């Protein structure tokens, strides 16, 4: 069962785009270090390699593992190879409806709220009576502590 992330409507970022473009080359398979070096160089050229190299390495590894879990990249030992479904990684899964993009939410007007009468909950059907078994008594034995004797002088 595949779990959707909380940010399913976000557009793919530059790291994912570069990973997809490098891995989608026919017959290309990379170890992560080689793959990261290529992706890092391409991001530097686009002036998009901010936040430090180690942080970028972590983000790229996380994105790559996400692509593997979505069966868009095949991991064979330490090598990664793009599959045919990899082209779908950069297309947004669910585009936003046009109305949500164009029409901003109207500000709420303050109005006096009228009290609403609550309805009584519907009566439930009586449950079947089951003979209850008597509970067993549990007796705890507690050892009493003897008061300490005072030292005599």
CATH number of 14-87: 1.10.10.10
End-to-end CA distance of the chain, in Å? 78
| Residue 54 CB neighbour total at 10 angstroms | 8
d(CA 48, CA 46): 5
pTM of this structure: 0.52
Contact 86, 20 (CB under 8 A): yes
More confident residue, 109 or 149: 149
Contact 89, 12 (CB under 8 A): yes
Written as six digits, the tokens of 122 are 């519907």
Domain ranges of the chain: 14-87
User: What are the tens digits of pLDDT across the range 29-84?
Assistant: 899 999 999 999 999 898 887 778 899 999 999 999 999 999 999 999 999 998 88
């Amino acid at each position: 069962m595949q779990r959707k992330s909380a940010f399913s409507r976000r557009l793919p970022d530059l790291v994912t785009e570069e990973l997809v473009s490098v891995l989608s080359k026919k017959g290309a398979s990379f170890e992560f270090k080689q793959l990261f070096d290529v992706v890092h160089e391409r991001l530097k050229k686009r002036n998009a390699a901010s936040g430090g190299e180690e942080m970028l390495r972590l983000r790229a590894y996380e994105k790559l593992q996400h692509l593997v879990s979505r069966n868009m990249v095949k991991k064979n030992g330490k090598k990664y190879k793009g599959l045919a479904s990899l082209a779908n990684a950069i297309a947004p899964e669910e585009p936003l409806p046009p109305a949500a993009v164009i029409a901003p939410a109207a500000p709420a007007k303050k109005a006096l709220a009228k009290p609403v009468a609550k309805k009584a909950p519907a009566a439930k059907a009586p449950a079947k009576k089951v003979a209850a078994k008597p509970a067993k008594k549990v007796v705890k034995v507690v050892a009493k502590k003897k008061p300490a004797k005072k030292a005599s002088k």
